[in-house]
Amino acid sequence: MKLLFLIVIYKVVMPVLLRLVGVRIRHKAAYQEQKQFIVVANHNSHVDTMALLASLPIRLLIKTHPVATANYFGKKKWLAFVSNLFVNTVLIRQKDNALQLLEQKLKKGHSLILFPEGTRGKPGEMQAFRSGIGVLLSAFPHIPFIPVWIEGTGKILPKGSFLPVPFEAEVKIGAATLAKGETVEEIVGEVQSAILALRGGE
């Protein structure tokens, strides 16, 4: 049932809406032959999550969870329910054991969509990454990360606004990469530079 919801939303409705609003998704082929991964992207708008889910092939849709903060999406019961049903999220609280839930999902063979900035910042600006992504990738060294650079969505629907306005935006999906760094900090830096590398390139 939930799969059906997700397919209708992200394979039928969302592609049309995103197209209309002006979001272009490039290099979807990056998902080919990948079974499990962590998508990491910069974050400016709720549109980012929609676009990333819409970029996934159907076979991966049900097993890929955007990571969201419970401080925002868990505030009201109905909001948590809706975001689970329509966005397939895992909600985490920013505490010591926050990553436990994510590790459970990864152990089950599921994939994650993670915004390491932790929040949508100001449009066009990338903030420092939190360390969670480094912890996860060092605990699961066989799972690759897929870097994604997103540009322009902060103008479509910025933080604090509820009125989407069409503007051209671009979602560039990079190649799946296994983290090489030894320490958590090294891995975080690696992920961050992989995302920034997509910024200027084709």
Partner 1 sequence: MQYFKDLTEIQQMILVILGVLVFATTLFWIWKKIKPGPQVDELITRTKSWWVMAGIFTTAAVVHPAISFIAFGLLSFAALREISSISKNARFEDRSIIFWAYLAIPLQYGFAYMGWFVPFMILIPVGMFMLIPFLLVLKGHTQDIARSMSVIPTHLMLTVFSISHLAYLLSLPELPHFNAGGRGLLLFVVFLTEMNDVFQFTWGKLLGRHKIIEKISPNKTWEGFIGGLLSTIAAAYFLRFLTPFSEIQALGSGLLIASMGFVGDIIVSAIKRDFGLKDTGTAIKGHGGILDRIDSLAISAPFFFYYVYLICYL
Footprint of partner 1 (CB under 8 A): 22, 123, 152, 155, 158, 161, 163, 165-168
Give 103 or 170: the residue with its C-beta nearer to partner 1.
170
DSSP H or E run through 198: helix 184-200
Locate the DSSP E strands across 13-156.
23-26, 38-41, 64-69, 90-92, 111-114, 145-151
Strand 64-69 vs strand 111-114: parallel, antiparallel, or unpaired?
Answer: parallel
Asked whether the beta carbons of 39 and 54 are under 8 A apart, the reply is: no
With tokens 């709720």, the residue in question is 46
Give 6 or 156: the residue with its C-beta nearer to partner 1.
156
Give 100 or 161: the residue with its C-beta nearer to partner 1.
161
Give 75 or 199: the residue with its C-beta nearer to partner 1.
199
To partner 1, the closest distance from the beta carbon of 18 in angstroms equals 13
What are the two backbone dihedrals, phi and then psi, of residue 22, each rounded to the nearest 5 degrees? 110, 25
To partner 1, the closest distance from the beta carbon of 60 in angstroms equals 27
Give 66 or 154: the residue with its C-beta nearer to partner 1.
154
To partner 1, the closest distance from the beta carbon of 150 in angstroms equals 15
To partner 1, the closest distance from the beta carbon of 198 in angstroms equals 16
- What is the C-alpha separation between 167 and 150, in angstroms, rounded? 13
Give 46 or 65: the residue with its C-beta nearer to partner 1.
46
- What is the C-alpha separation between 110 and 159, in angstroms, rounded? 29
To partner 1, the closest distance from the beta carbon of 194 in angstroms equals 24
* Closest to 137 (Cα-Cα) out of 92, 174, 189: 189
Asked whether the beta carbons of 152 and 169 are under 8 A apart, the reply is: yes
To partner 1, the closest distance from the beta carbon of 31 in angstroms equals 22
